[in-house]
Amino acid sequence: MDIKNELAVRVEAAEDVVCRFLPDVEGYQGMIFDAMEYSVTAGGKRLRPILMNETYVLFGGQSDIIESFMAAIEMIHTYSLVHDDLPAMDNDLLRRGKPTCHAVYGEAMGVLTGDALLNYAFETALNAYDAPDADVNAVTAAMRILARKAGVFGMIGGQVVDVESEKNQSDITEDKIRFIYELKTGALIEASMMIGAALAGASVQDIELVESVASKIGMAFQIQDDILDIEGDQAKLGKPIGSDEKNQKATYVTFAGIEKSKEEVKRLTDEAILELQKLPVSNEFLNELLKYLVYRDN
């Protein structure tokens, strides 16, 4: 399998889905729609909607009902990046090789753009209830997963600990780093795969197994990000390298070092693939995608 070509096809399809759900740029509040579109279409791997759809297919899903959730998860991911880049957070002016949202539209509009994307994500996901073949229980389960994994017990919770830790780097530990990664990065990856499974009618046990797989991949993905911040190519990454060291920010690499960090990426990925293979169903592309994502160079 040529994973890069196969992935490119799915990225294009996911891009189409996400863009179709964006609101039209019109009305007195047209600037917020413009900023939302700018932020969502600024590039990206579309990892989360692709993982969601591939897990949906893995469990036999065939309906378009997945699309509103694919768009919603990418809107939530984008809102988190818009807020991460704000002066009060990471104060970044470049994201994916382009000026960040607040650099283009101003700080206030950056805050509002993130707020708008979060709210519109749930409005979009709720469209799934209107699908002719909607299973109300499955859609409700998916909504619960989305809300919890995006909130204080998920992504936001991880961000809170990250922000608090930056105030006092001496308090940061490897366990706390893992906690931050599990929630801040892993939660939306878990949500993506769990929602795909839930909407396809997977059992509670299989959804829990998928959550475990996604948790390991999310951790490996973030540790690989730490490695790329040291060894990566700025042109490929679309953002400056060495920012963690420059900002004196502790990462997993700070505690484990480069080589042990690479070993941990491999261990987590291998375990995730083995767990995925325990399922009575299989998806060759999904297996290859998980490996490709954590061994990426951008």
Residue-wise pLDDT tens digits, 78-94:
999 999 999 999 888 98
Whether residue 65 contacts residue 183, with contact meaning beta carbons closer than 8 Å, is answered with no
pLDDT at 114 over 90: yes
Residue 298: pLDDT band by 50, 70, 90 thresholds?
Answer: low
Evaluated on CA atoms 75, 80, 84, 87, the torsion sign reads positive
Collapsing DSSP to helix, strand or coil, 95 comes out as strand
Q: Whole-prediction pTM value?
A: 0.93
Question: What is the pLDDT at residue 147?
Answer: 98
Q: Which of 96-105, 145-154, 276-285 has the lowest mean pLDDT?
A: 276-285
Nearest 10 degrees: Cα torsion 44, 47, 50, 55:
-170
Tokens at 259, concatenated: 């080589």
% residues pLDDT > 70 (the chain): 94
Interval 277-288 mean pLDDT: 89
Question: What is the pLDDT at residue 229?
Answer: 86
Task: Indicate the average pLDDT of the chain.
Answer: 91
Residue 248: pLDDT band by 50, 70, 90 thresholds?
Answer: low
Interval 205-233 mean pLDDT: 91
Domain count, the chain: 1
By residue range, what is the domain housing residue 218? 3-294
Question: What is the pLDDT at residue 240?
Answer: 54
Question: What is the pLDDT at residue 64?
Answer: 95
CATH of the domain at 46: 1.10.600.10
Question: What is the pLDDT at residue 1?
Answer: 74
Tokens at 103, concatenated: 């650099």
